[in-house]
Amino acid sequence: MSRSQLRSTQLTKQDDDITDDLREILTGLGKSQKAISSKFFYDERGSRLFDQICDLPEYYLTRTELSILREHVVEMADRIGPQASLIEFGSGSSLKIRILLENLDQLAAYVPVDISRDYLVMAADDIARDFPEVEVLPVAADFTYPFDLPDPVVTPVRNVVYFPGSTIGNFSHTAAHDLLRVMHHEAGNNGALLIGIDLQKDKEIIEAAYNDSAGVTAEFNLNILRRINREFGADFKLDDFRHRAIYSEASGRIEMYLISSCDQIVTIAGYNFAISAGESILTEHSHKYTTEGFVAMAARAGFRLEKHWSDSGKMFAVLYFLRD
Ligand code: AVJ
């Protein structure tokens, strides 16, 4: 018996997942700028490669966010106050959540929300084992849509949505705003949001973080084709694609591509796609923000900034908002 209980699971996108995914992939490859959603990165191998990315010397994001957390967690916990319910969007890096859990006072509950049920239950059990005084209530749901929160035994003073890792960077500005609205809904009255964002900075630094010299990000990017070959019966030849990440200063985002090195035809589920030499498949956008820019977007979604913390190099920021 797992110590944490999986409570709520109503969200729509469970059935027909395979066909929805296949349809999405076919649609993306049919566009003039071919694209595959970054959500397909994270199979088992992809998740392992992402963990390796987080340790790369060029990938400053994880390391910097952790250092900000470690330095300011006491003040963060102070502002959050006692008996909060911590709702993590995406059950991600257990290191970050552990730093918070170790410092929060009389937490009412820890509620990790993730679409991947197996991963979620595993991660939640680990936390429940190491924090026996915390009620861990995982929710299997697609957090881009509103979901029902479980009822902790102890009534929370406030719900605090936690979204670390600059994961919001994967969303377009419109989608990020919509996600902030869901967070606003889940935070409820007296609620709050603690969120990590990667800041705009020199193009060279950002591009190096996504074009690492060890080639791990290239492996991570190519793995999306490997996965589509395996799960959707495609015949991508990985050797015929090269990884490239470009920072667009105009858009304030990293654009990650797989570039075809020859004219080729790829078949997926009986559909053929011609890809010419030099043509690219877009696999990821990773938006970088200014603190002011993000604060303005959050304000439109009903959050007002209470406090923000950054590192000395102004590489990354952790923002604490109260819900209007
Ligand atoms: C998980 C979305 C925060 O955009 O930096 C890392 C994913 N892609 N290297 C990011 C990623 C390539 C990462 N996020």
CB-neighbour burial class of residue 307 (10 A; exposed 0-12, middle 13-18, buried 19+): middle
Tell me the average pLDDT across 196-215: 98
Q: In the predicted model, what is the mean pLDDT of residues 213-232?
A: 97
pLDDT tens sequence across 68-101: 999 999 999 999 999 999 999 998 668 999 999 9
Q: What span, in angstroms and rounded, lies between the C-alpha atoms of 26 and 40?
A: 13
CA distances from 104 to 74, 85, 169, 187, 195 (A): 8, 10, 27, 17, 16
Average pLDDT score over residue span 202-223: 98
> What values do phi and psi take at 170, rounded to 5?
-75, -15
- Tell whether the model's pLDDT for residue 223 goes beyond 50: yes
The upper half-sphere exposure of residue 123, i.e. CA atoms within 13 Å in the direction of its Cβ, equals 25
Residue among 172, 286, 315 whose CB has most ligand 1 atoms within 8 A, to mutate: 286
Q: Average pLDDT in the 271-295 region?
A: 98
- For 255, residues 6+ apart whose C-beta sits below 8 A from its C-beta are 245, 246, 247, 248, 282, 284, 285
User: Which atom of ligand 1 has the smallest separation from the CA of 170?
Assistant: 2
15 three-class SS: coil
Distance of CA 108 from the midpoint of ligand 1 (Å): 31
Quote the CA–CA distance of 76 and 111 in Å, as a whole number.
18
Q: Which atom of ligand 1 lies nearest, measured to the CA of 166?
A: 3
CA of 286 to the centre of ligand 1 (A): 7
Q: What is residue 52's predicted lDDT score, i.e. its pLDDT?
A: 97
Model confidence at 13: pLDDT above 50: no
Percent of the chain with pLDDT over 70: 94
Confidence of residue 8 (pLDDT cuts 50, 70, 90): very low
216 lines ligand 1 (CB under 6 A): no
pLDDT of residue 12: 45
Mean pLDDT computed over 301-312: 98
User: Which of 6-20, 138-152, 155-169 bottoms out in mean pLDDT, i.e. has the lowest?
Assistant: 6-20
Q: How far is the CA of 82 from the centre of ligand 1 (A)?
A: 32
pLDDT of residue 10: 41
> Ligand 1 pocket, 212 CB below 6 A?
no
Q: What is the pTM of this model?
A: 0.93
When pLDDT is averaged across residues 35-60 and rounded to a whole number, the result is 95
Backbone φ and ψ for 110, nearest 5 degrees, come out as -115, 120
Residues 6+ apart with CB under 8 A from 199: 288, 289, 290, 291, 310, 314, 315, 316, 317
- When the pLDDT of each residue in the chain is averaged and rounded to a whole number, the result is 94
* pLDDT-based confidence at residue 4 (cuts at 50, 70, 90): low
What local confidence, expressed as pLDDT, does residue 116 receive?
A: 85
Could you give the CA distance from residue 292 to residue 296 in angstroms, rounded to a whole number?
6
- pLDDT of 106 > 90? The answer is yes
86-103 b/e (C-beta count within 10 Å ≥ 16 → b): bbbbbbbbeebbebbbeb
Residue 9, pLDDT > 50, answer no
Does ligand 1 lie within 6 Å of residue 165's CB atom? yes
Q: What is the pLDDT of residue 16?
A: 57
Per-residue confidence at 19, pLDDT binned at 50, 70, 90?
Answer: confident
166 Cα to the center of ligand 1, angstroms: 8
Residues in Cβ contact with 177 at an 8 Å cutoff, skipping those fewer than 6 apart: 297, 300, 301
Q: What proportion of the chain, given as a percentage, has pLDDT over 90? A: 90
H-helix or E-strand containing 320?
strand 316-323
Q: Is the pLDDT of residue 113 over 90?
A: yes
Which of 14-18, 160-164, 211-215, 232-236 is predicted with the least confidence, judged by mean pLDDT?
Answer: 14-18
**Residue 2 pLDDT exceeds 50:** no
Position 118 pLDDT exceeds 90: no
Residue 11 has pLDDT above 70, yes or no: no
- Residue 105 CA, ligand 1 centroid: distance in Å: 31
Say whether pLDDT at 248 is over 50: yes
Please tell me the least confidently modeled range out of 117-126, 232-241, 265-274. Answer: 117-126
Q: What is the DSSP letter of 105?
A: S
